[in-house]
Structure 1
Amino acid sequence: MAGAERLLCSLAGIVSARVVTDRDGQIAEIHVLATDALHPKQVVRNVESALRAGLGLEVDRRIVSVAQVRAADAAFPSPAPEPAPAGPARTPPPGRLGFADFDARCDAMQGATCRVVLRAGDRQFEGTGEGPGTTQGRVEAAARAVLAALAEARAGLPVGLEGATIVEAHGRTYVLVAARGLQGRRSVRLAGAAPLSRSPEEAAILAALQATNRWVDLPHARGAEP
């Protein structure tokens, strides 16, 4: 599906696109990294229209996930920041889950593991995740750890990981995380993106939180605390 990806990347506002096919060669997932110049729903409509007009492909809009970055960040590569000095993690607003800490291990034979600590006020919640012993596996392990911590913080929270991947766009590297939540009887596609500047795990954690935090705070997310 390289042709479809090239077509999507030519659309206004789209920085990068990844098309995933099933065993039959049919499009199963489309992950798009876009600037904030257009509303995500408009990006999805543009994707549908481009594939229909350019390649004669009909896709269900529900398989398209959109993660957004600021237009300035996507257009102008910037050097990776220096590592932040050691110190206590910044406390998020009361009730809002924020990133507190993580530790990770990766071995080519035993695979990658990651433990993530999230904080809400003075409470902490931990989650662990695993993946293959590769850079991609490190990203997946960290994203799974975030969702596990969310499940601990919000008992019964109906959200699961659909995928986590690394993409290159305009000289920069990003981590994209796609998840799916449950709103009543309807599933909701969630997506987040973060620049990979220091470690795959940190970028995946921030992308996973971007994908889920606003949705988790909404009253329709089952298990959300009042």
Structure 2
Amino acid sequence: MALTAPGNPLSHTVSSPIAGSVLPLAEAERQLRTLPGVLDVRIVPSETGAVSEVHVVTTMEVSPKATVRNVETMLKASLKMSVDHRKISVATSNEKARAHVEAERNIAAPVVSAPTLVAPPAPAPMKAPRLFFEDVEIQRSRAKGVTVRVTLRKGDQSFTGECEGPESARSRAELAAKGALLAIAELERGAGSFVVEGCKLIDAFEREFMFVGISVRVGRETALLTGSCEIKDSPETASVLAVLDATNRWVSRI
């Protein structure tokens, strides 16, 4: 059931830091508003500064489940924050709500005054959309063993990478990582030089994490990129998110 967005946009806190980060809440909320379909965001901190709640208002073009995954990925990859998906709530709205929110933002936008001229400030340069996780599928067959299909999204486009191999818990995680790199290669020119060095399950702080190593050619040298993600949904999903953690900043330079 879709929820109608409130008449006024969500209020935003601009002074409290998030979970010990130097970035203010307003910066985190601004980045989350760049996600596909997101109309507005409000992050509620706890008394200790950790994230207590994340409230998101979206259009109907992206499912709530995909939005929650996108929020988790953005906070992890861009702000190095790990937020439990149960703290993220999503309400869907229609396009009229988007127009209302954008109108309110335009009214509140600051202006630069001069003796004979009043003009809005020059818009900030637009950043290229980042890569976000959308889905991972696992298919088993006697002939091929296991096939892992990974779907990533950039803006309003989604691309798929698929790998197959023998059936085992470790191989599924590595196949998911390779599938993620194939999807990245479809999205980004110059990303085809990525190679999965390995995936490793790590126990730390009474939790399980997926750790991946990815090599990439830099001129005549080879650089090692690493990424990690706490296992919440499945090892395969965590493997894909760890790949994005390792490559998102690198891919943004390509």
Normalised TM-score (structure 2): 0.48
Task: Please give the root-mean-square deviation of Cα atoms over the aligned residues, in Å.
Answer: 2.4
The 1-side partners of 2:206 and 2:141 are apart by 28
Aligned residues: 135
1:167 aligns with 2:213: no
Equivalent residue in structure 2 for 1:209, among 239, 244, 248: 244
Normalised TM-score (structure 1): 0.54
Please state how far the C-alpha of 1:109 moved relative to its aligned partner. 7.3
The 2-side partners of 1:99 and 1:193 are apart by 14
Q: 1:111 touches 1:137 (CA, 8 Å); kept in 2? A: no
**Residues 187 and 134 (structure 1), Cα distance of their counterparts in 2 relative to 1, 3 Å cut:** same
Q: 1:97 touches 1:118 (CA, 8 Å); kept in 2? A: yes
Aligned equivalent of 1:180 = 215
Which residues of structure 1 form unaligned runs of 5+? 1-85, 219-223
Equivalent residue in structure 2 for 1:89, among 57, 66, 77: 66
The 2-side partners of 1:186 and 1:194 are apart by 27
**Residues 182 and 94 (structure 1), Cα distance of their counterparts in 2 relative to 1, 3 Å cut:** same
Aligned equivalent of 2:151 = 117
Secondary structure of 1:95's partner? coil
Q: Which has the larger radius of gyration?
A: 2
Secondary structure of 2:198's partner? strand
The 2-side partners of 1:99 and 1:124 are apart by 9
Equivalent residue in structure 2 for 1:147, among 159, 173, 181: 181
Of structures 1 and 2, the one with the larger relative CO (CA 8 A, separation 6+) is: 1
Aligned equivalent of 2:100 = none
Instruction: Name segments (4+ residues, structure 1) moved above 6 Å.
Output: none
The 1-side partners of 2:64 and 2:216 are apart by 34
Secondary structure of 2:208's partner? strand
Please state how far the C-alpha of 1:134 moved relative to its aligned partner. 1.1
Q: 1:107 touches 1:133 (CA, 8 Å); kept in 2? A: no
Secondary structure of 2:189's partner? coil
1:14-163 maps to which residues of 2 (within 5 A)? Answer: 87=64, 89-90=66-67, 94-106=128-140, 110-157=144-191, 158-163=193-198
Please state how far the C-alpha of 1:87 moved relative to its aligned partner. 3.4
Q: 1:178 touches 1:189 (CA, 8 Å); kept in 2? A: yes
The 2-side partners of 1:139 and 1:211 are apart by 15
**Residues 139 and 108 (structure 1), Cα distance of their counterparts in 2 relative to 1, 3 Å cut:** farther
**Residues 201 and 150 (structure 1), Cα distance of their counterparts in 2 relative to 1, 3 Å cut:** same
